[in-house]
Amino acid sequence: MSNRPILIRANELHAKLNDPNLAIVDGSWHLPNANRDPFFEYTSGHIEGAHFFDIDEIADRSSGLPHTLPTNEHFANCVGAMGISNSDEIVVYDAAGMFSAARVWWMLKSYGAQNVRVLDGGLPAWKSAGFAVTDKKPSPNRVEFVAQLNKDQTVPLPQMREFVKAGESQILDARGAGRFFGQEAEPRAGTRSGHMPGATNVPFSTLLNDDGTFKSNEELSVLFSNQGLDLSAPTIATCGSGVTAAIILLALELIGKTDARLYDGSWAEWGSLSDTPVEID
């Protein structure tokens, strides 16, 4: 068993497949320019019993921003329809290894799930271990999921403006260096390049091994220390649209920091506004 309870290994998950209190969630999602359909891929092959968690549908569709957090009612309805209750052991994975699964992990626990874990290395690790996938979708019975968003987990735009202006919070940006420093165009049309003043670039890929598993706690601690991170200070994670920022939150939780927050609008919101300060160096 992993000594990091948030993470679960493929062989450990395989041994639990018949556990009646286990719920498996495929949280795959891809950037708009990836030209990949995560639901089609799910229907073609997923872990037995896995439900597809569509972050674009389990979202506030009226916000004008990609996959921002939904109402409590909408979240409860969607997750309850999967047959998932607050007390189930929920394991989330994605098709990339580690990309969008952390976002789903963060959402589930933010709305009241009590035991959420992430498959370390995702679907590639499952397949590499020799375990089968299926195209058979589960037929769950609806159950009650009581959703109550913990607003301490997220940062809305007005607060984000204040934090940037005050310069007192650590802002960690999970995008690649090219986007962070304004050297590459953003994948969403109409979005400026660059980063928030005072932000630190922590590309999510630097937190992972080549196979999509998380680096060791020791390696993560050194990485954050080298970035000048103070584990006792208020910390906010951001990225392009609130997805890979959750990888930073998961990495921080692995090394004991559980109070970091996520700017849900992220660069899709900040970079699309005309009155938000942006730096490119």
The residues that are catalytic are: 239
Q: How far apart are CA 247 and CA 230, in angstroms?
A: 18
CA angle 232, 2, 148 (to 5 degrees): 55
CA pair distance 242, 240, nearest whole angstrom: 6
Question: How far apart (Å, rounded) are the C-alpha atoms in residues 71 and 261?
Answer: 18
C-alpha pair distances (Å), 79 with each of 70, 98, 151, 169, 275? 12, 21, 19, 33, 37
Residue 6: exposed, middle, or buried by beta-carbon count in 10 A (0-12, 13-18, 19+)?
A: middle
Report the relative pairing of strands 22-26 and 51-52 from DSSP bridges: parallel
Cα dihedral 105, 109, 115, 119 in deg (nearest 10): 0
Residues 67 and 241 sit within 8 Å (Cβ to Cβ)? yes
Number of residues that this document lists for the chain: 281
Residues 6+ apart with CB under 8 A from 162: none
Side chain identity at residue 123, one-letter code: L
What are the tokens at 63? 């916000």
With beta carbons less than 8 A apart as the criterion, state whether 110 and 149 touch.
yes
